[in-house]
Structure 1
């Protein structure tokens, strides 16, 4: 698989790959993930039959650069990263498919970047997401885990094997900076979305599905399509590809608009 890089406006490097043929489709991973998520669950292979599929390690993730200052994770810098990626690839218009954090970023890009013509958004909603009430407890938790990792006593803590493995493989200073940085993002409203989008969640997606149901009318009025699947949890919205891919493909293959 060919690997490519592009430079960011603040001196970093993003790593991405590109496969397939057709109109460009950018896949945006979740907060604790990297671009390989899309390969692991067969999305790249499936979508590359119809599109040129680009998967990128967002700043602070995967093989891309890992700044450790919260200000390096402001929305404007994420947006400039995507703009640089498009320029590197020579694209003037793209579609986006984002899950969880990648979906939240995708919504912001849909509202802010004319080059983003359409988006599939999974496992998030429009509105106050990165609130102090939600993020600060995570900062406290992961700060304690980061300290334990640094002191070599992570195995002594009463945490799950999967959490231990996550902390061991993660650049924790960068992870904590990302958590702090995302609290500075502006709050988006449905009325700011001017291009078509499919937003999907599921009855097992925790508080997200409740928020989506509350704002479903406003999302529809903004030109969105809302789909609520049954009994998929947050992670399965992307890992259970066989359950959701028909809706994703049907939306992405609709004729595009230049409005």
Structure 2
């Protein structure tokens, strides 16, 4: 993929790639320190969508070739939304479709509340409300600070972790991840009533159990505000995008309705 860059007002250099032709579709990847815009090629979304859409694929700040920081304020939702707006401006895009998975879906809810340029949006593996900001983010901060402590004193073997997890911890700047979760604690709560653009949300029966509980709890409110919800059988969190043959027909249907 070609790499383009924009510079946001805080000086952050943000990378993105484009592919295909047609109406604009912004693809926002997941987080947890593991993903970047290459995800869309790796999971065949580019292959399946490039003849239908002009794909815009940012590296969200903190990921891939975009700038990173250990300062939580760097990851404010205002900064991330400005990054996206600057990329869209760089591409001369006035209106667009939005697809986000996991972290990208959580960002999508914020963008929908604050942006009238989105035609329709599909968000996978996340939910509205503030459950993740109030309860999940603090737990993740504690978890990664514990990992970071054992990493510093070279005692990861004391933790019940797989070899792959230990390797990932050794190779990852956990301070960046901790900063992102601290920023999450300050993100505003977005509820179904705040969404005025056509939105669809999906998950899988093997996704995070806390997420599924929240989606089930919100089901009536989502329906009241015409937000489509689909729970795919036997899909876990990553399979929400890696199992493209299963989910993509439903995603395209949401964009076409």
| TM, length-normalised to structure 1 | 0.92
Contact kept in structure 2, 1:57 and 1:64, CA below 8 Å: yes
Which of 225, 230, 248 is matched with 2:228 structurally? 225
> For residue 123 of structure 1, what is the aligned residue in structure 2?
125
SS class of match (1:230): strand
Partners in 2 of 1:63 and 1:125 — Cα distance?
Answer: 27
For residues 16-66 of structure 1, what are the alpha-carbon distances to aligned partners after superposition, in whole Å with 9 as ceiling and x for unaligned?
A: 110000011111111122111111111111111200111111011111100
Cα pair 2:101 2:125 within 8 Å, conserved? yes
TM-score by length of 2: 0.92
After the TM superposition, which of the residue ranges 16-25 and 108-117 deviates more from structure 2? 108-117
Residue 8 and residue 150 in structure 1: after superposition, are their counterparts in 2 closer, same or farther (change >3 A)?
farther
Q: What corresponds to 2:164 in structure 1?
A: 162
Q: Does the CA contact (< 8 Å) of 1:13 and 1:64 recur in 2?
A: yes
Give the paired residue count. 254
In the TM superposition, what is the alpha-carbon distance from 1:9 to its structure 2 partner?
1.6
CA distance in 1, matches of 2:217, 2:139: 25
The alignment status of 1:31 with 2:31, answered yes or no, reads: yes
Q: Which of 137, 153, 158 is 1:135 aligned to?
A: 137
Query: Which residue in 2 is equivalent to 1:244?
Result: 247
Match of 1:210 in 2: 213
For residues 138 and 145 of structure 1, the distance between their equivalents in structure 2, rounded to whole angstroms, comes to 10
**Aligned-residue CA RMSD (Å):** 1.7
Structure 1 stretches of 4+ with a deviation exceeding 6 A read none
Q: Which stretches in structure 2 are left out of the alignment for 5+ residues?
A: none
Distance 2:144 2:38 in 1: 23
Instruction: Provide Cα deviations, 1:99-120, integer angstroms capped at 9, x if missing partner.
Output: 1111111111112111122111
Distance 2:118 2:86 in 1: 14
Which digits, 9 at most, give the CA deviation of each residue in 1:203-229, with x for residues without a partner?
Answer: 222222222122222222323211111
